[in-house]
Amino acid sequence: MKKISYSKERLRSNLRMGIFFVAVGIILVLLSFISSEWREISLTSVGVGQIGAGVFMFLIYCYENRKQYLTLKNGVLIKNSLFPKKIKLDEINTVKEFAGDLKLITQKTEFIIDTQITEPNSLKELKNELKKYNLI
Give the largest Cα separation in the chain, rounded: 68
Q: What is the pTM of this model?
A: 0.84
Rg from Cα positions in the chain: 21
**Going residue by residue through the chain (136 aa), what tens digit of pLDDT does each one get?**
899 999 999 999 999 999 999 999 999 888 888 876 666 677 778 889 999 999 999 999 999 999 999 999 998 999 999 899 999 998 999 899 888 899 999 999 999 999 999 999 999 999 898 888 887 7
In the beta sheet, which residues pair with residue 114? Answer: 101
Strand segments, DSSP code E, in the chain are 2-4, 70-73, 76-79, 85-88, 94-98, 101-105, 110-114
pLDDT value at position 38?
62
Contact 32, 43 (CB under 8 A): yes
3-class state of residue 20 by DSSP: helix
